[in-house]
Structure 1
Amino acid sequence: MAQTLRKDAAANRERLLHAARDLFTSHGVDVTLNDIAHHAGVGVGTAYRRFANKQELMAALLEDALDELEGFARRALSEPDAWVGLVDFLDHSLDLQFGDSGLNAIMSHPALADDQVREAQTRIAPLLEELVAKARRQGAIRPDVEQSDIIFLQAGLASIRNRSADVEPDLYRRYLQIFLDGIRADRTLTPLPVTALDATRTHAAMTQSRRPSHRRG
């Protein structure tokens, strides 16, 4: 009986996470835990036994996404050709970011605690830094490219994707290719006018929308 209850609890948890992904994709991340429970076909009480609140559910989604993202980064690092690894990481991470997990929207939502968002930096940034450094050592990319450039690229592509998804959901890939062509080392390089941000300043820039404004209205 106990094993059956554990299986039922695990199944309900997965149904709730799947329903949250569906609703976040179709209605945005401001839906309620009650909405998610109804969409999952489970009782509201069951939902609150699995997750105390929507923040806890979003944290679980973020954890799952970070596990996937870390797997992509480690696989990219194991690829002997650093350029192939970097492109593979970008392809898969962008699919995750724009896919049904809604990673981009989840990470920017104020319902998540700051330490949960910082976990993304702690886990992923060092791997991405290592991947970019490997590509520089192999001469695959221009020597002034940094891991923060990749992060800001993803943010820029997210903006393009948000504006064009209803017209052409894959339009962002055009600009991804333009970027990739621009960082390859096998061409004449134009000096970059601004120095790349370090990891701390990148994190501050990427999470500024989460911080309340102190300006007087």
Structure 2
Amino acid sequence: MGETTLRIDAERNRQRLLQAGREVFAARGLDATLNDVAHHAGVGVGTAYRRFPNKEALIDAIFEQQVVELESILHEALAEPDAWKGLVDYLERALAMQTRDRATAQILSGRRVTPEQHDWSRDRLAPLVDALADRAREQGVVRPGVTGTDLIFAQIGLTAVAATISDGAGGIDRDDVDDLYRRYLRITLDGLRPVHDAELPGPPLTTEETHRVLQRRK
């Protein structure tokens, strides 16, 4: 009975640290320490290091959670019969997740992630993003040249816009700063629509090229 209780307590502390890590890293980025996370979780530093030997191990566990959540969002978007609505829902939900969580944005843009993690997340997410773009093209709701990698880089750009606004918002007297990225999302969505006559300049990066680019962003 005592050993079972210890295992339950250990798992409970692990989950508390995971949740606290997401909250601390979301607010402060990945430069926060494991000590910061332990304090936020209300557990001792020793307990934190027993559950996660270092901060990178905690980041790895959080990364796995984030990929699973994004995978779920993508599956729900693909289950939507209307390809345009599915694409918009995906971008809105994925960007909401990344703009409120700096760690997610940093990880998904290639920072603090190992090549093995990149391979794993690419294999899980890239086919779904590609399928979303392919289906939108087939239904004629996006420009003919739009690909899954275009959607990835649109997200990277929009999360950078959101971070720039948030970091410099101290002198702005308005209460919608955290949602300003939605304005630029709408402009981006309008640019995806097939109402433009001009062809897109140059071919898109392939999935493999995108993967290589993001691997180098440490």
TM-score by length of 1: 0.89
CA distance in 2, matches of 1:19, 1:101: 14
Equivalent in 163, 166, 180 of residue 171 of structure 1: 180
Give the total of aligned pairs: 208
Larger RCO (alpha carbons 8 Å, 6+ apart)? 2
- Deviation larger for 119-128 or 15-24: 15-24
Q: Of residues 179, 182, 188 in structure 1, which corresponds to 2:191?
A: 182
| Residue 203 (structure 1) aligned to one of 188, 211, 217 | 211
* Distance (Å, rounded) in 1 between the aligned partners of 2:163 and 2:134: 30
- Stretches (4+) displaced over 3 A: 106-110
Amino acid at match of 1:109: R
Q: Does 1:71 align with 2:72?
A: yes
Q: Over residues 138-184 of structure 1, what are the superposed CA-to-partner deviations in whole Å (9 max), with x where a residue is unaligned?
A: 11111110111101100110110111023511121111111111111
Instruction: Measure, in 2, the Cα distance between the counterparts of 1:106 and 1:198.
Output: 20
Query: Could you tell me which residue of structure 1 aligns to residue 111 of structure 2?
Result: 109
Task: Write out aligned runs for 1:132-151 (5 A).
Answer: 132-151=133-152
Instruction: After superposition, give the CA deviation of every residue in 1:88-126 in whole Å (9 maximum; x if it has no partner).
Output: 11111111212247311234433x322113322111010
> Residue 123 of structure 1 aligns to a residue in which SS?
helix
Equivalent AA in structure 2 for residue 200 of structure 1: E
Deviations along 1:50-92, one digit per CA (max 9) or x if unpaired, are 1121111001101001111000111111111111111111111
CA RMSD of aligned residues (A): 1.6
CA distance in 2, matches of 1:23, 1:154: 22
Shift of 1:205: 2.0
Paired AA for residue 111 in structure 2: H
| Aligned residues of 1:148 and 1:198 also touching (Cα < 8 A) | yes
Structure 1 residue identity aligned to 2:99: F
Percent identity reads 46
